[in-house]
């Protein structure tokens, strides 16, 4: 259990923090920690080449990046969070499909459709046209499309009520 803690400590200690550059003492300590962790890793009979994080840590890549670039940059993870949310939405949309393979096929088809350049262009151009149309109506002092539809619905309801009362 101590071994994963050593590698995680090494990685968390080299994250670039704005304005704080690694000192010479820190670099010496980091090099010693990496050396100790490497010995423990190999002593446990683990292979470095099959574990990407171990390869980056123990084969000098981590230390090289820290010395050359003054630490590792923070990695933005917004893109992966968005991807997780997109897949979660697809799962929610297809939960009622009983066959798992059909569910996966439907999810992939929906994702491809939403990422297709022509489909995205059509949605974007429709949104632009819709917003221009609403802006033009408002500039002319008229109501937006939604307001007009609501007004028509209210008038229709009113006419139906009056028709039912006269019968």
Note whether 143 and 64 are same-domain residues: no
Note whether 40 and 65 are same-domain residues: yes
Question: What span, in angstroms and rounded, lies between the C-alpha atoms of 77 and 45?
Answer: 33
- pLDDT tens digits along 9-53: 566 666 655 556 778 888 888 888 888 888 888 888 888 888 777
**Helix intervals (H) in the chain:** 2-13, 24-43, 52-58, 61-69, 78-93, 100-115, 117-139, 145-166
Note whether 154 and 88 are same-domain residues: yes
Contact 10, 61 (CB under 8 A): no
The answer, as to whether pTM is greater than 0.75, is: no
Which of 25, 40, 69 is a domain's end point?
69
pLDDT at 105: 92
Task: Return the SS3 of 5.
Answer: helix
Note whether 58 and 126 are same-domain residues: no
Note whether 37 and 83 are same-domain residues: no
- pLDDT tens digits along 76-117: 566 667 777 888 888 898 989 999 999 999 988 888 887 888
Calculate mean pLDDT across residues 139-146: 68
Note whether 115 and 86 are same-domain residues: yes
Note whether 84 and 63 are same-domain residues: no
Note whether 43 and 8 are same-domain residues: yes
Question: What span, in angstroms and rounded, lies between the C-alpha atoms of 103 and 157?
Answer: 41
Contact 95, 38 (CB under 8 A): no
- Residue 74 falls inside a structural domain: no
Domain tally, the chain: 2
Which of 69, 99, 116 is a domain's end point?
69
Note whether 154 and 96 are same-domain residues: yes
Note whether 86 and 162 are same-domain residues: yes
Is residue 142's pLDDT more than 90?
Answer: no
Q: Kindly compute the dihedral angle of the four CA atoms of residues 58, 61, 62, 65, in this order, to the nearest 10 degrees.
A: 160
- Please give the DSSP secondary-structure letter assigned to residue 48: S
Contact 33, 87 (CB under 8 A): no
pLDDT at 65: 80
Task: Return the SS3 of 1.
Answer: coil
**Distance, CA of 56 to chain centre:** 25
pLDDT at 23: 80
Domain residues for the domain of 149 are 79-166
Average pLDDT in the chain: 78
């Amino acid at each position: 259990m101590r071994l994963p803690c050593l590698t995680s400590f090494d990685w968390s200690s080299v994250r670039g923090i704005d304005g704080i550059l690694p000192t010479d003492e820190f670099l010496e300590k980091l090099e010693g920690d990496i050396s100790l962790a490497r010995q423990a890793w190999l002593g446990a009979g683990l292979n470095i080449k099959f574990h990407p994080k171990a390869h980056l840590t123990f084969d000098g890549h981590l230390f090289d990046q820290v010395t050359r670039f003054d630490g590792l940059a923070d990695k933005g993870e917004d893109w992966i969070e968005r991807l997780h949310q997109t897949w979660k939405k697809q799962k929610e949309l297809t939960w009622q499909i009983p066959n798992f393979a059909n569910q996966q096929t439907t999810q992939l088809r929906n994702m491809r459709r939403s990422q297709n350049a022509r489909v995205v262009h059509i949605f974007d151009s429709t949104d632009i046209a819709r917003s221009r149309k609403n802006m033009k109506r408002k500039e002319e002092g008229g109501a937006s499309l939604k307001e007009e539809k609501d007004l028509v619905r209210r008038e229709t309801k009113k006419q139906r009520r009056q028709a039912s009362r006269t019968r």
